[in-house]
Structure 1
Amino acid sequence: MKILSILFLSIFLGKGCEAQKKQDIETAIIEYVANTRGSYQKITVKNQMVTVSKDRNGNDKPVPTKITEADWKELVEFFKSVKLDSLAKLKAPTEKRFYDGAAIANLKITYKDKGYETTGFDHGFPPKEIKKFVDKITSYAKIK
């Protein structure tokens, strides 16, 4: 009987952890910023909503847009593969930003009141570890 109880509790508690993993991104604030001297773009994803701002001074009023269910599920899967603690250590694959060949991009994720941020990388050429995640986020700006 004890073994049956332990087995039941293990399965029950294990399922509870899976449900919590899915909610991880729902409590996160994701900010992607790409800028140069002449251009600026900030994409913010929070709670299945996306806003895109092109004004670095914050004078525009970006309209939040709901992310479709299919896109949200895909973003959740990409988010699960991101290792938050290693974001600051990721190496940029190209260096076009050093000679104005690409905008400087940064990804910042605020999760459970803690900030995780990448070092600068070329817009359009994110580190391979977060490429799918960043490409999905930037695709929302192309839709607008």
Structure 2
Amino acid sequence: MRNFIITATISLLIVSGCKTKPTLFKKSISKIETISLSERTRGTIRDFTLSNGKLMSSINGNMNSQKISQNDWSKILEYTEKIDAENISKLEASTTKRFSDAALASHITITKNGTDYQSSTFDSGNPPLELKNLYNEIQRIIETKKSK
């Protein structure tokens, strides 16, 4: 009887341990929903939002929606995963032309698991080093869609 109780207790602990591990693993998986690039200066407002399969753009209030390829979205996700979203607002811009209206003031917003993470503001074309690959990929997609 004593061996049965010990065996049953050990089995119960093993089974309950196996059930909790997948739950913990699921909590650590992050889901990137959208990536937005906003660029503004006096007289110009450009907003671009990328999601799985779609590019939404608004230039001075003129809205447009276009499809993007799965390959483009995969590249965006690849670059976004390398960014520490929780500390994105602490990244410093290397130039300050936006202060004198010599460049568009830009920022990137990452929506991940329902939470928005917004970068610090930087000059258009000159993002912080940590955002450079993502910014350049967003610009490539925007320029490709503009030319069509």
TM-score by length of structure 1 reads 0.75
The aligned counterpart of 1:62 is 64
**2:88 paired with 1:87:** yes
TM-score by length of structure 2 reads 0.73
* Structure 1 segment 79-118 matched on structure 2, within 5 A: 79-118=80-119
Indicate the RMSD between aligned Cα atoms, in angstroms: 2.3
Distance 1:141 1:67 in 2: 10
Distance 2:35 2:141 in 1: 13
Distance 1:92 1:85 in 2: 17
Distance 1:61 1:122 in 2: 23
Give the AA of the match of 2:92: K
Contact 1:30 1:107 (8 Å CA) reproduced: yes
Distance 1:141 1:71 in 2: 11
The aligned counterpart of 2:130 is 129
The aligned counterpart of 2:79 is 78
**2:54 paired with 1:41:** no
Contact 1:87 1:118 (8 Å CA) reproduced: yes
> Which segments of 5 or more consecutive residues in structure 2 lack a partner in the other structure?
1-17
- The CA deviation string for residues 38-95 of structure 1, in whole angstroms up to 9 with x for no partner, is 222110012231112102xx4x3312x2222322222121011011011010000111
Three-state SS of the structure 2 residue aligned to 1:62 is strand
Three-state SS of the structure 1 residue aligned to 2:64 is coil
Count of residues paired in the alignment: 125
Larger radius of gyration: 2
> Which segments of 5 or more consecutive residues in structure 1 lack a partner in the other structure?
1-8
User: 4+ residue stretches of structure 1 with deviation over 6 A?
Assistant: none
Distance 1:110 1:66 in 2: 19
Contact 2:56 2:63 (8 Å CA) reproduced: no
Contact 1:43 1:138 (8 Å CA) reproduced: no
- The CA deviation string for residues 84-119 of structure 1, in whole angstroms up to 9 with x for no partner, is 011010000111111222110011122212121112
